Amino acid sequence: MKKLLFISSLLTYSYSQDNLISDGPYIFIDNGNLIEKEIIDNQVFIKTLKPSQFDTLFYPSKSIYKNVSKIAALSDIHGQYDLFITLLMNNEIIDKNLNWIFGKGHLVINGDIFDRGDQVNETLWFVYKLELQAIKNGGMVHFLLGNHEYMVLYDDLRYVNPKYKLSADLLDLDYDMLYSNKTVLGRWLRSKSTIIKINNVLFTHGGISKEFVSKVGYDIEAINNTMRISIPKLKNLRKLRKSKESNEFYDLYFGSQSLIWYRGFFKNDFTSSELEDVLNLFDAEHIAVGHSTQKKIVQLHENRIFGIDTGIKKGKSGEVLLIEGDRFYGGSINGQLRELNQ
């Protein structure tokens, strides 16, 4: 067991004094057996599940969808489970019993469920279950990986809520091992995409930089595959980067100009013609991105860009982007719609 940093231990300690934590379940895959570990009031409960109870193999979904009748998208949930549920409920994506009522619609979560807040695991399990329900109803849930998913996968734990340091201690594991390739949620995460296109709209966490497309290209399926197969190598790549050895691959796919970190869309010097060039390459009309926090959903460059990180991480409010045909709306926490005008 790795030693926690001194400052993190202090945080963990103060957290544990005031709160008994409950967390999980975490389901570990051990030689074909499923072992469930759950924490209730600081006590760990372990049981063996029937192997049929959860899938252990997850296959990537495709990256491009056409003729989807309605789309909802939101981003940067950061462990704010209650607010996330309220937004989905009041915008008629789920009912009061948390069941899918969005029919054949697609719900996109533009990344960053992990870090900051203290209900990350609850949110992940809810998305996991909603995804299965949506498929049964002819719809889909797309959970795209953001920089904070990749950070946990490559063991950069700077933003993990102190609660989870205590969870990891109680389970006698490092935090990243709670989502390793030997867990159900860890395998599920590793099957996810980073960029998708639905109808004429692209979705990704940060944005698409000129630098990225000029070097990587615009084959969405290939980009997702490259990022998926890189995950096992990421820890080492990060070390190489730390030691300042050149690492073009890491910079391209996981650096500041990558899909998951890029903030250029929101800079003053970003031009419509630069955007036009990028969208044309992907044969898309619009792009919805999270990562750069706004008060409400913003539209930029005549509805070409939608900024959909609406500060859910603060735990107070947020908005859902709703798309039907060529109409775009912001759905509020109370379920009120405002049309996003050009």
Closer residue to Zn ion, CB minimum distance, 23 or 76: 76
CB-count burial class (<10 Å; 0-12, 13-18, 19+) for 120: buried
DSSP-assigned letters across all residues of 239-289: HHHHTT---HHHHHHHSTTSTTT--GGGSTT--HHHHHHHHHHTT-SEEEE
Closer residue to Zn ion, CB minimum distance, 21 or 289: 289
Lay out the site mask for Zn ion across 276-305 (x = CB under 5 A, - = otherwise): ---------------x--------------
CA distance 220 to 301: 23
- Residue 116 touching Zn ion (CB under 5 A): no
For Zn ion, which residue of 27, 93, 105, 112 counts as binding (CB under 5 A)? 112
The CB-nearest residue to Zn ion is 291
Q: Which span sits near Zn ion by CB under 5 A: 104-112, 177-185, 242-250, 320-328?
A: 104-112
- Residue 149 touching Zn ion (CB under 5 A): no
Closer residue to Zn ion, CB minimum distance, 4 or 144: 144
Q: What is the CA radius of gyration of the chain?
A: 20
Task: Return the closest-CA partner of residue 106 out of 78, 144, 79, 80.
Answer: 144
Rounded to a whole number of angstroms, the minimum distance from the CB of residue 291 to Zn ion is 4
- Residue 75 touching Zn ion (CB under 5 A): no
- Residue 146 touching Zn ion (CB under 5 A): yes
Closer residue to Zn ion, CB minimum distance, 21 or 108: 108
CB-count burial class (<10 Å; 0-12, 13-18, 19+) for 48: exposed
Rounded to a whole number of angstroms, the minimum distance from the CB of residue 110 to Zn ion is 9
- Residue 204 touching Zn ion (CB under 5 A): no
| Residue 146 falls in which region: left (phi positive, over 0), alpha (psi -120 to 50) or beta | beta
Q: Which residues pair with 298 in a beta bridge?
A: 307
Closer residue to Zn ion, CB minimum distance, 223 or 308: 308
Rounded to a whole number of angstroms, the minimum distance from the CB of residue 76 to Zn ion is 6
Closer residue to Zn ion, CB minimum distance, 249 or 261: 261
- Residue 147 touching Zn ion (CB under 5 A): yes
Rounded to a whole number of angstroms, the minimum distance from the CB of residue 85 to Zn ion is 21
DSSP-assigned letters across all residues of 12-72: HHHHHHH----EEEEEEEETTEEEEEEEETTEEEEEEEPGGGS-----PPPSEE---SEEE
Task: Return the closest-CA partner of residue 286 out of 80, 125, 71.
Answer: 71
- Residue 264 touching Zn ion (CB under 5 A): no
- Residue 224 touching Zn ion (CB under 5 A): no
> Which residues make up the interface to Zn ion (CB under 5 A)?
112, 146-147, 291
